[in-house]
Copies of this chain bind each other. A is one copy, B any other.
């Protein structure tokens, strides 16, 4: 396998692994009516309450509309609430409700299970390495424009 084949494989490997991780977690969380994507929203809000939707979307590197729907669903489930920003009537600030706390507890437990399966045999140092490498790829791809070269 030549050098550019390895790199191409890398792309597919990244995808497959991400998908399997999501699937694993979602299977566990299904009975609780939650999914990985919604969990991420709760997780971020948990340490940054009162973020604007736009900020949250930026933080997650998702399109605003993608987040809109997650918030809709989480709000319908009574886990978060939108509050009008008094300074800027265009935007909402998102807060966790009291009902979110126990759910966060449960999700953290499920996440720990998935994690322990996924990272079995991978040392803390290697995890750091992986995090570092993914972070650099993420950075490289975060530039909005498509760079043709």
Q: Which residues of A pack against B, CB within 8 Å?
A: 3-4, 6-25, 27-28, 36, 40, 43, 60-61, 108, 111-122, 124, 126-131, 133-138, 140-143, 146-149
Contacts and interface: CB of A to CB of B under 8 A. Distances in A.
Secondary structure of the A contact surface, majority rule: helix
B115 A11 contact: yes
A149 B116 contact: yes
24 contacts: A4-B112, A7-B115, A8-B43, A9-B131, A10-B119, A10-B130, A11-B114, A12-B43, A13-B135, A14-B18, A15-B22, A15-B36, A17-B138, A18-B18, A18-B19, A20-B61, A20-B141, A20-B142, A113-B149, A116-B149, A117-B147, A118-B141, A119-B140, A121-B136
B141 A10 contact: no
